[in-house]
Structure 1
Amino acid sequence: MKKNTKVLLGGCTIILTILILLIAATPGASGTEIPIQEVLANPDKYEDRYVTTEGFLIEESIEWRADEIELYFDIVDSDGNVLSVYHHGVRPDNFSEGVITILEGYIVPGEPFQAERVKTKCPSKYEGEDPNDYDPEFHKELLDDK
């Protein structure tokens, strides 16, 4: 074989190997985003597929087992559909009532959602106020009082 052919074959092999490793290492890239209602209605359809779903945390449902690093909780969507969740990993810091919880993991029919990743969005209390509601007179009064 010529030297150019060997280099070309070696380069193609390296590129193909990198592509295979990237696809295998990122199951979330091939995941499907589905609403809670769909998870509950068709669990068999999504069995063994990496999926993403989200809902509002129900604080009373949180069961944190620190010794086993296990977290059980429920989330609810705007229609009232409740999804039970199991996560083997650390408990997120801002885990409180009404926080939006984003789950990535697997559906096993008859069992809680098997979350590999649990992320939370900041509650609306941390969002800024609407700039259209700004009242310059209010701030002028505050400064005049000092």
Structure 2
Amino acid sequence: MDRKQKTVLAIFFIFFVGVVGLWNVDLSQGYPMISELRENPDRYVDNEVDTMGVIKNGTLDISTSGISFILQDVEDETFEIEVEYKGALPADLTEGKGISITGMMVSHDRIEANRIVMGCPSKYTE
């Protein structure tokens, strides 16, 4: 095998390893915002979604049957969506705080969450 054949074989091997290594990597741009969920509901209804937002003040309802609240878009508070969650009460769940949720978007204005992750509190204060 001459030098040219070895170089071509090495390049092919590197390409193959790269493709296999990236096979199941999610290359999406992150969570869709609530504004996107509300503007394009047909794309998301009946699908699992990950999104984030802020719990709207005055909407958090914690009862024995579950937790419900309105989640507002971080960038535009006019966009909001109702969230229902039946899992364990997350620590520090309060209104006005940022959260990330995962769940099924069951209609154009409601998500049934199966996971809630509270945003990290800032170490810095003004």
How is 1:1-146 mapped onto 2 (pairs within 5 angstroms)?
33-66=31-64, 68=65, 70-77=66-73, 78-80=75-77, 81-110=79-108, 112-124=110-122, 127-128=123-124
Number of corresponding residues: 99
Highest CA radius of gyration, 1 or 2? 1
Structure 2: which 5+ residue stretches go unaligned? 1-23
Distance 1:76 1:110 in 2: 14
Moved over 6 A (4+): none
Where 1:61 maps in the other structure, the secondary structure is coil
If the length of structure 1 is used for normalisation, what is the TM-score? 0.58
RMSD: 2.5
How far the C-alpha of 1:49 sits from its partner, in A, is: 2.0
Distance 1:110 1:40 in 2: 6
Structure 1: which 5+ residue stretches go unaligned? 1-22, 24-28, 131-146
Distance 1:102 1:42 in 2: 19
Where 1:116 maps in the other structure, the secondary structure is strand
User: Of Structure 1 and Structure 2, which has the larger fraction of its residues in helix?
Assistant: 1
Distance 1:39 1:110 in 2: 8
Identity rate, percent: 26
Query: Are the counterparts in 2 of residues 99 and 122 from structure 1 also a CA contact under 8 Å?
Result: no
